[in-house]
Amino acid sequence: MKTELVERAFKYCFHPTSEQAVELLRVFGCVRKVYNLALEARTVAWFQRQERANHNTTPAMLTQWKRTEELAFLSEVSSVPLQQTLRHLQGAFSDFFEGRAEHPRFKSEKKTRRSAEYTRSAFPYRDGALTLAKTKDPLAIVWSRPLPQGAQPSTVTVSQDSAGRWFVSMLCEDASVKPLPTSDTAVGVDAGITSPVTLSTGEKVTNPRHERRDRACLARAQRALARKGKGSRNRDKARIEVAKIHARIADRRRDFLHQQTTRPVRENQTIVIEDLTVRNMLRNKTPARAVSDAARTDLRSMLEYNCTWYGRNLVTIDRWFPSTKLCPVCGTIREKPPLNIRAWTCECGTTHDRDINAARDIPAAGPAVTACGAGVRPQREPSRTGQPAAKQETLTAK
Question: Would you kindly state where each structural domain of the chain is located, as residue ranges?
Answer: 6-174, 186-207+260-397
Provide the pairing of β-strand 313-317 with 270-274. parallel
Q: Which of 7, 117, 174, 190 is catalytic?
A: 190
305 three-state secondary structure? helix
Distance (Å, whole) CA 374 – CA 270: 14
58 three-state secondary structure? helix
H helix or E strand, kind and range, residue 124:
none
- Predicted TM-score (pTM) of the model is 0.81
Q: Which of 23, 293, 304, 355 is catalytic?
A: 355
Q: What is the DSSP secondary structure assignment for residue 348, as one 8-state letter?
A: T
pLDDT at 395: 36
Distance (Å, whole) CA 264 – CA 176: 19
- Residue 9 backbone dihedrals phi, psi, to 5 degrees: -100, 125
List the one residue out of 317, 307, 303 whose CA is nearest residue 368. 317
Angle at CA 355, nearest 5°, toward 352 and 359?
95
List the one residue out of 119, 132, 108 whose CA is nearest residue 27. 132
List the one residue out of 64, 68, 71, 60 whose CA is nearest residue 32. 71
Beta bridge partners of 189: 199
Cβ-based neighbours of 137, under 8 Å, separated by 6 or more: 17, 20, 131
- Is residue 293 annotated as part of the catalytic site, yes or no? no
Q: Which of 274, 293, 304, 361 is catalytic?
A: 274
- Is residue 298 annotated as part of the catalytic site, yes or no? no
Q: What does each of the 398 residues of the chain score in pLDDT, given as a tens digit? A: 456 788 999 999 999 999 999 999 999 999 999 999 999 999 998 888 777 777 788 889 999 999 999 999 999 999 999 999 999 999 999 999 898 889 999 999 888 889 999 999 999 999 889 999 999 899 999 999 999 888 899 999 999 999 999 999 999 998 888 888 998 888 888 887 788 888 888 888 888 889 889 999 999 999 999 999 998 999 999 999 999 999 999 999 999 999 989 999 999 888 888 887 777 777 777 778 888 888 888 888 999 999 999 999 888 887 777 777 777 777 777 777 776 777 767 767 777 777 787 777 777 766 655 555 555 444 444 444 444 444 444 333 33
pLDDT at 387: 46
- Residue 302 backbone dihedrals phi, psi, to 5 degrees: -65, -40
- Is residue 236 annotated as part of the catalytic site, yes or no? no
List the one residue out of 100, 110, 108, 90 whose CA is nearest residue 42. 90
Cβ-based neighbours of 395, under 8 Å, separated by 6 or more: 308, 377, 387
List the one residue out of 304, 296, 316 whose CA is nearest residue 383. 304
CB 91 within 8 A of CB 4: no
